[in-house]
């Protein structure tokens, strides 16, 4: 012991080996999930990237969708994502404010929380059925961009509620107590301290929903997304959200991959690549925002 | 920049309390505005309940007329699904239920060990940059849209399965289960990691102090201690898998039959609705039955998510 | 003497759920006195303060019975509870700087109350920072974040914030727990000045602090008043209750 280190007994060596085996075993399981992902996604991108060009993105599809570009699908997706987030973000944020700042600890709050969890678990096709029954038929909106957007809004609502609640809860309770002590009302506390200091977290949660909304097919295929519809109008509003149906990237991929005959074999890969690109871009933005958040922490 | 102190003291001398007491009047408009926004907040707070009921109500409404003609036993357990027959339409969803359960079951068999293993790896064997990167990658796995997964199953995995396992059809239960596994793993890793993080460090320290290897630590201490959270993670993964539509629609084939091997094509409840609703006319029997299947799905996922939530609450209470 | 006490507490009971923490206590606090409250941890001292300024209501499972009267009016009957809370300044044990500039920290309460004129706010901010013995250290950086100050500075900032709404009563809840002795001394000097303008309730776990500052002190233990009297008696050799002597001497606590 005067040399300052322990001699390695066979026991220690055996233990170290067991540790390494454990690490490899569990690491292997993680790798088994991650490596196929990277390979598969990489393959799709490699197959689809050559078809991507500015022209591809901005040209209307032709011949029922199997030729030409994806312009109308791109625009349709943008419309649906924008309208649905404009509806679900305010409702979701305010709902989370209620749950985190106003709700008391009683059975009613438990039921509301339960409703949020269950809303999150409803299958996407059931959301589509709901949209059909409620917006398309009962509310008389017909199959339109509006119906599809509202259906998607209800779908993303619980996720926005959950992520906003997390952002609000990250603001320490001691701040709120300090505000109450000087006679601020609940709303004053929220408006002046809680919301400004959680807005970045809230925005991150909302932005993440962009990629989710853009990728959903089942809810919109029943409520307002058509398999083929080129954009003819040249006015500012390329679609009329209340009357028109539209195309969407997700539906387009489904149609081309399963039902279209004589489509170029690279076309579905290209569409999938665009969708994956959207997902990567959105998630990268969210990660960047989170890192920025952490560096600018005010407390 | 600041007024001198002398003037200040004068203005706020204790004697002139009434005149100089802090302006306690908040504008009437401001107070009304506050009432209004608080009312809006409360309304939004209840909205989740309204929407859940709304979903059940509107889906039920479209399918309700068929209930009168429905024989529940035949509906649930018969495997004869011939909705388009002119003379003898049959609406037994038994085969579809088996389809859903078998794809989900197989997916869980694959996903649970890998998902929990990955959760253990991220929680116990990883730190710092590596951990962050791994978590980001797993999050990306979760963000890939299901239609893209379906496409991958259809065009990329199907030929691989045909070649590797020497089977005639590549779109089958196995394909769908693989996809569902890849889709459910992220949620299991994230919740599983939370559950493991909730196990106090004192457990770990005690085990190591007694000479346990990492292996024993995981198997004998951590997994039992995090049992509830891991169970909830699995249930949530199951819920996700049961409700998945596009990926199974594209990758499991079109055969409404009870499968005899994992390489047989099957049809799930979700895929059936998606595939057939477009061809029905509003108000027809077929149309209504599809809505009833929607109610069935709603109920199943409701129960599964309720169970998972109760278990998670149990974990958080500790 | 027929002078109405500033604060009267009568048979106050407080429970969190089924656990009663304050068991029916009654006492008075006179205007312009420094009223000390001492006692071991978990005696209900903080809860008592929160009953006075009604922030106990933010605790979902708290049940209060009995009466607390300020200036003759029951606190539960006030017309506007927010205005009422501004009558009372509260300083918590852990220093809290709001994530705003130092200026905005002190201007927060007046703004919530409706004061918007910049000249008024400027004057008020400077005055409160002076009173809290913080002005000299921060006068050149009023725009910097309040959360970046040291613990002792943040505690003084909290005091400035508490003073910004010109309270009649100032409650300090173990204010010196997380700050250094030098700052503690400075704040104690501040309190001696402030007692000319307001009534001060000083909850402290440092018996010597109560001895230095308070006029009368109350020994609260397990939600009951063991003894309440002038400092000479409480901290002297013959307090009425043996337990008071033991606690002050440090035999338990």
CATH code of the domain containing B98: 1.10.3720.10
The whole-number pLDDT of residue B17 equals: 39
**What's the average model confidence in pLDDT over A174-189?**
93
**What's the domain count of chain B?**
1
- Asked if B22 and C115 come within 8 Å (Cβ–Cβ), the reply is yes
**What's the domain count of chain C?**
1
Asked, for residue C129, whether it belongs to a domain, the answer is no
Q: Compare all CA atoms of chain A with the CA of B130 and give the residue at the minimum distance.
A: A27
- Asked if B2 and C126 come within 8 Å (Cβ–Cβ), the reply is yes
Under an 8 Å CB criterion, which residues of B touch C? 1-3, 5, 7-9, 11-12, 14, 21-27, 30
Residue pair C108/C157 in contact (Cβ under 8 Å)? The answer is no
Which residues in C lie closer than 8 A to residue B28 (C-beta atoms)?
A: none
Which residues in C lie closer than 8 A to residue B12 (C-beta atoms)?
A: 123-124, 127, 166
Asked, for residue C142, whether it belongs to a domain, the answer is no
The whole-number pLDDT of residue C10 equals: 93
Write the residue in A98, A250, A268 that is nearest to B145 by C-beta: A250
Q: For A102-136, what is each residue's pLDDT tens digit? A: 988 888 998 999 899 899 999 999 999 999 999 99
Assess A134–B contact: CB distance below 8 Å, yes or no.
yes
Which residues in B lie closer than 8 A to residue A30 (C-beta atoms)?
A: 114, 117-118, 121-122, 134
- Asked if A182 and C161 come within 8 Å (Cβ–Cβ), the reply is yes
A182 min Cα distance to partner chain C (Å): 5
Asked, for residue C140, whether it belongs to a domain, the answer is no
Which SS3 state, helix, strand or coil, does residue C67 take?
strand
Q: For B129-159, what is each residue's pLDDT tens digit? A: 888 888 888 888 888 999 999 999 999 899 9
Asked, for residue C178, whether it belongs to a domain, the answer is no
- Asked if B26 and C114 come within 8 Å (Cβ–Cβ), the reply is yes
Assess A127–B contact: CB distance below 8 Å, yes or no.
yes
B306 min Cα distance to partner chain A (Å): 7
**Mean pLDDT for all residues in chain A:** 87
Q: In the predicted model, is pLDDT for residue B13 greater than 70?
A: no
What are residue A62's DSSP bridge partners?
A67
Write the residue in A117, A257, A287 that is nearest to B309 by C-beta: A117
Write the residue in B7, B9, B24 that is nearest to C113 by C-beta: B24
**What's the average model confidence in pLDDT over B242-263?**
89
Give the ipTM of the model, two decimals please: 0.90
What are residue C173's DSSP bridge partners?
C203
Q: Compare all CA atoms of chain A with the CA of C158 and give the residue at the minimum distance.
A: A178
- Asked if A283 and B125 come within 8 Å (Cβ–Cβ), the reply is no
Alpha carbon distance B214, A74 (integer Å): 51
Please give the span between the terminal C-alpha atoms of chain C, in angstroms, as a whole number: 36
Which SS3 state, helix, strand or coil, does residue C74 take?
strand
The Cβ of residue C197 has, within 10 Å, a number of other Cβ atoms equal to 15
Assess A108–C contact: CB distance below 8 Å, yes or no.
no
Task: Report the residue of A106, A107, A178, A198 to disrupt the C interface, i.e. the one with the largest count of C CBs within 10 Å.
Answer: A178
Q: DSSP of A28-88, one letter per residue? A: HHHHHHHHHHHHHHHHHHHHHGGG--HHHHHSPEEGGGTEE--HHHHHHHHHHHHHHHHHH
Please give the span between the terminal C-alpha atoms of chain B, in angstroms, as a whole number: 56
The whole-number pLDDT of residue A22 equals: 81
To the nearest whole percent, how much of chain B has pLDDT over 70?
A: 91
- All partners of chain B with 3 or more CB pairs under 8 angstroms: A, C
- Asked if C108 and A184 come within 8 Å (Cβ–Cβ), the reply is yes
Confidence tier at A6 by pLDDT (50, 70, 90): low
**Domain map (residue ranges) of chain A:** 67-253
Write the residue in C114, C120, C130 that is nearest to B27 by C-beta: C114
**What's the average model confidence in pLDDT over A157-186?**
93
The whole-number pLDDT of residue A236 equals: 64
Which SS3 state, helix, strand or coil, does residue A3 take?
coil
Greater pLDDT, A294 or A281: A281
The pLDDT profile of chain C, 253 residues, written as one tens digit per residue, is 567 889 999 999 999 988 999 999 999 999 999 999 999 888 889 999 999 999 998 887 899 999 999 998 999 999 889 999 999 999 999 999 999 999 999 999 999 988 888 998 999 999 999 999 899 999 999 999 999 999 899 999 999 999 999 999 999 999 988 888 998 999 999 999 998 999 999 999 888 899 999 999 999 999 999 889 898 888 888 888 888 888 888 887 6
The whole-number pLDDT of residue B316 equals: 54
**What's the average model confidence in pLDDT over A224-241?**
73
Confidence tier at B197 by pLDDT (50, 70, 90): confident
Task: Report the residue of B26, B30, B47, B189 to disrupt the A interface, i.e. the one with the largest count of A CBs within 10 Å.
Answer: B47
Confidence tier at B85 by pLDDT (50, 70, 90): confident
Residue pair A232/A299 in contact (Cβ under 8 Å)? The answer is no
Asked, for residue C80, whether it belongs to a domain, the answer is yes
CA angle B261, B264, B266 (to 5 degrees): 120
CA angle A145, A146, A152 (to 5 degrees): 90
Q: In the predicted model, is pLDDT for residue B14 greater than 70?
A: no
- Asked if B45 and A37 come within 8 Å (Cβ–Cβ), the reply is no
Asked, for residue B12, whether it belongs to a domain, the answer is no
Q: In the predicted model, is pLDDT for residue A1 greater than 50?
A: no
Residue C127's φ and ψ, nearest 5 degrees, are -60, -45
Q: Compare all CA atoms of chain C with the CA of B13 and give the residue at the minimum distance.
A: C197
The whole-number pLDDT of residue B22 equals: 55
Please state the three-class secondary structure of chain B as a single string.
Answer: CCCCHHHHHHHCCHHHHHHHCCCCCCCHHHHHHHHHHHHHHHHHHHHHHHHHHHHHHHHHHHHHHHHHHCCHHHHHHCCCEECCCCCCCEECCHHHHHHHHHHHHHHHHHHHHHHHHHHHHHHHCCCHHHHHHHHHHHHHHHHCCHHHHHHHHHHHHHHHHHHHHCCCCCCCHHHHHHHHHHHHHHHHHHHHHHHHHCCCHHHHHHHHHCCCCHHHHHHHHHHHHCHHHHHHHHHHHHHHHHHCCHHHHHHCCCCCCCCCCCCCCCCCHHHHHHHHHHHCCCCCHHHHHHHHHHHHHHHHHHHHHHHHHHHHHHHHHC
Which residues in B lie closer than 8 A to residue A192 (C-beta atoms)?
A: none
Which residues in A lie closer than 8 A to residue B306 (C-beta atoms)?
A: 114, 117-118
Nearest to A204 by CA among A293, A276, A117, A280: A293
Residue pair B237/B69 in contact (Cβ under 8 Å)? The answer is no
Q: For B298-307, what is each residue's pLDDT tens digit? A: 999 999 988 8
Task: Report the residue of B32, B38, B39, B41 to disrupt the A interface, i.e. the one with the largest count of A CBs within 10 Å.
Answer: B41
CA distances (Å), origin C72, targets C7, C14, C88, C196: 8, 21, 15, 21
- Asked if A280 and B61 come within 8 Å (Cβ–Cβ), the reply is no
Which SS3 state, helix, strand or coil, does residue A156 take?
helix
- Asked if C197 and B14 come within 8 Å (Cβ–Cβ), the reply is yes
Which SS3 state, helix, strand or coil, does residue C3 take?
coil
Confidence tier at A245 by pLDDT (50, 70, 90): confident
Asked, for residue B226, whether it belongs to a domain, the answer is yes
Confidence tier at B261 by pLDDT (50, 70, 90): confident
Alpha carbon distance B180, B295 (integer Å): 22
- Asked if C83 and A175 come within 8 Å (Cβ–Cβ), the reply is no
Alpha carbon distance A247, A218 (integer Å): 13
Which SS3 state, helix, strand or coil, does residue C177 take?
coil
Which SS3 state, helix, strand or coil, does residue A202 take?
helix
The whole-number pLDDT of residue B223 equals: 83
Which residues in B lie closer than 8 A to residue C168 (C-beta atoms)?
A: none
Residue pair A136/A142 in contact (Cβ under 8 Å)? The answer is yes
**Mean pLDDT for all residues in chain B:** 83
Mark out the alpha helices in chain A (DSSP H runs): 10-48, 54-58, 71-97, 107-121, 124-131, 145-169, 173-181, 186-189, 199-215, 218-221, 249-258, 266-295
The whole-number pLDDT of residue B315 equals: 52
Alpha carbon distance C102, A95 (integer Å): 32
Assess A199–C contact: CB distance below 8 Å, yes or no.
no
Assess A275–B contact: CB distance below 8 Å, yes or no.
yes
Asked, for residue B83, whether it belongs to a domain, the answer is yes
Q: Compare all CA atoms of chain B with the CA of A135 and give the residue at the minimum distance.
A: B58
Alpha carbon distance B129, A194 (integer Å): 30
Touching B: A residues 171-200, CB under 8 Å:
185-188
Note down the domain range covering B78: 74-317
**What's the average model confidence in pLDDT over A259-278?**
87
CA angle B223, B226, B228 (to 5 degrees): 120
Q: Residues with Cβ < 8 Å from C128, sequence gap 6 or more?
A: C106, C160, C161, C163, C164
Q: In the predicted model, is pLDDT for residue B16 greater than 70?
A: no
- Asked if B118 and A116 come within 8 Å (Cβ–Cβ), the reply is no
- All partners of chain A with 3 or more CB pairs under 8 angstroms: B, C
**What's the average model confidence in pLDDT over B286-313?**
88
- Asked if C127 and B8 come within 8 Å (Cβ–Cβ), the reply is yes
**What's the average model confidence in pLDDT over A162-170?**
93
**What's the average model confidence in pLDDT over B221-248?**
87
Confidence tier at B10 by pLDDT (50, 70, 90): very low
Nearest to C44 by CA among C210, C201, C203: C203
Q: Compare all CA atoms of chain B with the CA of C139 and give the residue at the minimum distance.
A: B2
| CB-defined contacts A:C, below 8 A | 71
Alpha carbon distance C45, C49 (integer Å): 7
- Asked if B144 and A118 come within 8 Å (Cβ–Cβ), the reply is no
Alpha carbon distance B177, B174 (integer Å): 5
Asked, for residue C66, whether it belongs to a domain, the answer is yes
Q: In the predicted model, is pLDDT for residue A184 greater than 50?
A: yes
A67-253, CATH topology level: MetI-like fold (1.10.3720)
- Asked if A26 and B120 come within 8 Å (Cβ–Cβ), the reply is yes
The whole-number pLDDT of residue B11 equals: 40
Confidence tier at A5 by pLDDT (50, 70, 90): low
Assess A104–C contact: CB distance below 8 Å, yes or no.
yes
Q: In the predicted model, is pLDDT for residue A259 greater than 70?
A: yes
Residue pair B57/A124 in contact (Cβ under 8 Å)? The answer is no
CA distances (Å), origin B16, targets A280, B21, B222: 65, 8, 68
The whole-number pLDDT of residue B3 equals: 39
Note down the domain range covering C223: 1-87+209-253
The whole-number pLDDT of residue B4 equals: 38
The whole-number pLDDT of residue C15 equals: 93
Residue pair B161/B172 in contact (Cβ under 8 Å)? The answer is yes
**What's the average model confidence in pLDDT over A268-292?**
90
Of B115-124, B170-179, B213-222, C31-40, the poorest mean pLDDT is in B213-222
The whole-number pLDDT of residue B176 equals: 93
- Asked if A183 and C165 come within 8 Å (Cβ–Cβ), the reply is yes
Q: In the predicted model, is pLDDT for residue B12 greater than 60?
A: no
C204 min Cα distance to partner chain A (Å): 19
Which residues in C lie closer than 8 A to residue A182 (C-beta atoms)?
A: 85-86, 89-90, 108-109, 112, 161-162, 164-165
């Amino acid at each position: 012991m005067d040399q300052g280190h322990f001699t390695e007994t066979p026991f220690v060596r055996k233990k170290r080996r067991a540790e390494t085996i454990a690490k490899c075993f569990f690491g292997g399981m993680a790798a088994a999930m991650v490596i196929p992902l990277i390979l598969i996604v990489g393959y799709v991108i490699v197959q689809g990237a050559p078809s991507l060009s500015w022209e591809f993105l901005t040209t209307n599809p032709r011949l029922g969708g199997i030729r030409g570009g994806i312009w109308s699908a791109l625009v349709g997706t943008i419309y649906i994502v924008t309208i649905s987030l404009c509806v679900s973000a305010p409702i979701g944020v305010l709902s989370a404010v209620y749950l985190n700042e106003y709700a008391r600890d009683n059975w009613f709050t438990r039921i509301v929380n339960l409703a949020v969890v269950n809303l999150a678990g409803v299958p996407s096709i059931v959301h589509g059925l709901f949209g059909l029954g409620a917006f398309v038929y009962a509310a008389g909106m017909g199959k339109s961009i509006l119906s599809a957007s509202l259906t998607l809004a209800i779908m993303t609502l619980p996720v926005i509620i959950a992520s906003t609640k997390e952002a609000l809860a990250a603001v320490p309770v001691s701040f709120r107590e300090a505000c109450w002590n000087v006679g601020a009302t609940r709303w004053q506390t929220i408006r002046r301290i809680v919301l400004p200091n959680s807005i970045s977290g809230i925005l991150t949660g909302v932005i993440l929903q962009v990629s989710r909304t853009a990728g959903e097919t089942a809810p919109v295929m029943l409520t307002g997304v058509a398999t083929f519809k080129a954009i003819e109008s040249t006015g500012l509003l390329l679609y009329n959200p209340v009357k028109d149906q539209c195309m969407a990237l997700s539906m387009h991929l489904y149609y081309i991959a399963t039902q279209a005959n004589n489509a170029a074999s690279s076309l579905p890969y290209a569409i999938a690549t665009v969708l994956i690109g959207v997902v990567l871009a959105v998630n990268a933005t969210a990660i960047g925002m989170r890192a920025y958040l952490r560096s600018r922490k005010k407390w | 920049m600041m007024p001198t102190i002398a003037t200040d003291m004068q203005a706020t001398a204790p004697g002139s309390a009434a005149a100089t007491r802090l302006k306690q009047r908040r504008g009437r408009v401001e107070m009304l505005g506050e009432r209004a926004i608080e009312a809006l907040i409360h309304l939004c707070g209840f909205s989740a309940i309204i929407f859940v009921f709304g979903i059940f109500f509107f889906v039920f409404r479209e399918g309700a007329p068929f209930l009168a003609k429905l024989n529940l036993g035949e509906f649930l357990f018969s495997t004869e699904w011939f909705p388009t027959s002119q003379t003898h339409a049959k609406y037994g969803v038994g085969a579809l239920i088996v389809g859903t359960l078998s794809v989900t079951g197989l997916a869980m068999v694959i996903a649970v060990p890998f998902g929990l293993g990955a959760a253990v790896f991220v929680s116990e064997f990883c730190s710092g940059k590596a951990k962050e990167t791994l978590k980001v990658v797993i999050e990306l796995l979760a963000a890939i849209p299901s239609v893209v997964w379906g496409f991958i199953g259809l065009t990329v995995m199907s030929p691989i399965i045909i070649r590797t396992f020497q089977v005639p059809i590549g779109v089958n239960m196995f394909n769908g289960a693989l996809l569902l596994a890849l889709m459910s793993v992220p949620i299991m890793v994230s919740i599983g990691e939370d559950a493991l993080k909730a196990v106090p460090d004192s457990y770990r320290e005690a085990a190591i102090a007694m000479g346990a290897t990492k292996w024993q630590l995981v198997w004998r201490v951590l997994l039992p201690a995090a049992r509830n959270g891991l169970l909830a993670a699995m249930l949530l993964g199951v819920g996700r898998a049961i409700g998945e539509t596009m990926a199974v629609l594209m990758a499991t084939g079109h055969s409404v039959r009870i499968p005899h091997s994992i390489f047989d094509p099957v049809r799930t409840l979700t895929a059936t609705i998606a595939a057939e609703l477009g061809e029905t006319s509003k108000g027809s029997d077929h149309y209504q039955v599809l809505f009833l299947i929607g109610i069935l799905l709603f109920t199943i996922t409701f129960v599964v998510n309720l169970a998972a939530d109760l278990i998670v609450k149990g974990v958080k209470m500790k | 003497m027929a002078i109405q006490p500033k604060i009267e507490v009568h048979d106050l009971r407080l429970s969190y759920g089924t656990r009663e923490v304050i068991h029916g206590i009654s006492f008075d606090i006179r205007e312009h006195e420094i009223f000390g409250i001492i006692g071991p941890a978990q005696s209900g001292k903080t809860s008592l303060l929160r009953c006075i300024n009604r922030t106990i209501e933010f605790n979902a499972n708290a049940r209060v019975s009995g009466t607390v009267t300020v200036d003759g009016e029951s606190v539960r009957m006030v017309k506007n509870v927010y205005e009422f809370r501004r009558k009372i300044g509260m300083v918590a044990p852990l220093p809290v700087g709001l994530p705003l500039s130092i200026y905005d920290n002190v201007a927060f309460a007046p703004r919530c109350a409706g004061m918007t004129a910049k000249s008024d706010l400027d004057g008020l901010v400077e005055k409160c920072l002076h009173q809290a013995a913080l002005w000299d250290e921060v006068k050149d950086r009023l725009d910097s974040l309040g959360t970046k100050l040291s613990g002792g500075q943040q505690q003084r900032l909290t005091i400035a914030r508490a003073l910004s709404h010109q309270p009649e009563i100032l409650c300090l809840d173990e204010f010196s727990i997380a700050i250094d002795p030098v700052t503690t001394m400075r704040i104690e000097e501040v309190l001696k000045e402030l007692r000319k303008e307001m009534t001060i309730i000083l909850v402290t776990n440092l018996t010597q602090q109560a001895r230095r500052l308070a006029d009368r002190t109350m020994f609260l233990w397990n939600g009951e008043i063991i003894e309440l009297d002038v400092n000479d008696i409480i901290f002297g050799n013959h307090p009425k209750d043996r337990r008071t002597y033991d606690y002050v001497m440090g035999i338990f606590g």
